[in-house]
Amino acid sequence: MELLDLAVFLKREWKSGGNRPVLAGKVLGMVFQKPSLRTRVSFEVGMKHLGGDALYLSPDEIGLGKRESIADVARVLSGYVQGIMARVFAHDHVLELAKWASVPVINGLSDYNHPCQGLGDIMTVYEHFGRVEGLKVAFIGDGNNVATSLLMASALLGANFSIASPPGYELKASTLVKARPLAEDSHITIETFEDPIAAVADADVVYTDTWTSMGQEAEAAERRKRFQKYQVNTQLLAKASKGAIVMHCLPAHRGEELTDEVADGPQSKIFPQAENRMHAQKAVLVELMS
Ligand code: CP
Ligand code: NVA
């Protein structure tokens, strides 16, 4: 909650003239194994807002674990930069970076989770409703990295969580095992369904993400077939709570997991949500690097 309040404070400070340069002289090294628009730009611009700088390191340059071992990359980078943000395929790779780096390492998405997304998402919910506790967040589609972080953020901050996925594409059982104790502490429910209509009943937030994540391109045709029923469209949204908002981490595949009508409709929060990635991450950067 403190991180969310700091994010809201930094956003307000930025909008009313600018942030103080609390990260002056500090550089964030950004290691990418996959493409990005939001993560790259929001971290880079966020660092500049705080008086620091950021360095984009493309997949070709670093060759994480290929050109050089992850342990060596971590130790070399730690001599140059004051923080590392990494977007990786295998979650173990970001853990390995964190193990060897002597500077903070931020997960900018792995095949397991996307915590910076979860933070920006919950900030967006908090701003819109003025609270998180007691709300219901429904995720429609693949039990993927974004769903995992949304579940963890919801469970930590007291929002009920439901998810509808086709058989074989559910959240990992181990993820649910990790989330249950958090849910118990926060007195919230976690419900899993196959039927999207069941999942969105009374939901305050209807969330979706791509059917095919980065790295799963070979499965795209099969997934397109399996996920046909899991589109957030006007009919499905009508089954949610009347004041429900629609969220998507982006990039969106309009006409697949989300219709244009919903993405551009009055309940959509997808662009403020994308902006909030930057404000939320600035709070993380201040916490870790100032
Ligand atoms: N939502 C998100 O992480 O977007 P990018 O892949 O463009 O960074
Ligand atoms: N689940 C998506 C999220 C992209 C931000 C992916 O991993 O490709």
Tell me the sheet residues that pair with 64. Answer: 68
pLDDT in tens, 167-221: 999 999 999 999 999 999 999 999 999 999 999 999 999 999 999 999 999 999 9
| Confidence band, pLDDT 50/70/90 cuts, at residue 120 | very high
Q: CB of 116 closer than 6 A to ligand 1?
A: no
User: Residues near ligand 2 with C-beta < 6 Å?
Assistant: 109, 144-146, 209-210, 213-214, 249
Residues 33, 277, 279, 281: which is the catalytic one? 277
Q: Please list, residue by residue across 107-146, b when 16 or more beta carbons sit within 10 angstroms of its beta carbon and e when fewer do.
A: bbbbbbbbbbbbbbbbbbbbbbbeebeebbbbbbbbbbbb
What architecture is the 2-113+277-289 domain classified under in CATH? 3-Layer(aba) Sandwich (3.40)
Q: How far apart (Å, rounded) are the C-alpha atoms in residues 244 and 129?
A: 10
Query: SS3 for 249?
Result: coil
pLDDT 10s digits, 42-81: 999 999 999 999 999 998 888 888 899 999 999 999 999 9
Quote the pLDDT of residue 61: 86
Domain boundaries, the chain: 2-113+277-289, 115-273
What 3-state class would DSSP assign to 205?
Answer: strand
Distance (angstroms) between ligand 2 centre and the Cα of 149 equals: 12
Read off the pLDDT of residues 247-259 as tens digits, 9 standing for 90 and up: 999 999 999 999 9
For ligand 1, atom 1, the nearest C-alpha belongs to 249
**Residue 87 designated active-site:** yes
| pLDDT, position 63 | 86
CATH code, residues 115-273:
3.40.50.1370
Q: How far is CA 105 from CA 5, 88, 127, 146, in A?
A: 22, 12, 27, 19
Q: Do domains 2-113+277-289 and 115-273 have the same CATH topology?
A: yes
Say whether 249 is catalytic. Answer: yes
> In degrees to the nearest 10, what's the CA dihedral of 90, 166, 233, 278?
-20
Encode pLDDT of 133-181 as tens digits: 999 999 999 999 999 999 999 999 999 999 999 999 999 999 999 999 9
114 is catalytic: yes
Average pLDDT over residues 229-240: 98
Using CB atoms within 10 Å of the CB of residue 226, give its burial: 0 to 12 exposed, 13 to 18 middle, 19+ buried: middle
190-193 and 27-32 strand pairing:
unpaired
